[in-house]
Amino acid sequence: DAGVTQSPTHLIKTRGQQVTLRCSPKSGHDTVSWYQQALGQGPQFIFQYYEEEERQRGNFPDRFSGHQFPNYSSELNVNALLLGDSALYLCASSLARRNEQFFGPGTRLTVL
């Protein structure tokens, strides 16, 4: 039973560029949430996808957008990258009516 997977593992971009991160949920899960974890901080909720729609959103600007595909996998897109976007981006999967979230290994994004 495959757990949550994310790609790529690491990514280096420059300011102003755009980036796409990918997540495959745990087998049987239908909901994907994205979190940003800055160094030394707890994960911060970006948004959540269920049935291919954004269901909840945290306090992040419109530069952060996402998508969920029919197979429940998800993408996080960030436009016009800022230095402050450097962080570990975590994807978590769950079942819509269950609260338990299981995290992927994360993508480490560095913006230069």
Partner 1 sequence: GENVEQHPSTLSVQEGDSAVIKCTYSDSASNYFPWYKQELGKRPQLIIDIRSNVGEKKDQRIAVTLNKTAKHFSLHITETQPEDSAVYFCGPGGGNKLTFGTGTQLKVEL
Which residues inside 29-48 make contact with partner 1, applying CB under 8 A? 31, 33, 35, 40-45, 48
Residue 27 lies near partner 1 (rule: CB under 8 A): no
Q: Applying CB under 8 A, what is the total number of residues that bind partner 1?
A: 26
Residue pair 19/87 in contact (Cβ under 8 Å)? The answer is no
The CB-of-108 to partner 1 minimum distance in angstroms stands at 9
By CB under 8 A, name the one of 1, 53, 62, 100 that touches partner 1: 100
Residue 90 lies near partner 1 (rule: CB under 8 A): yes
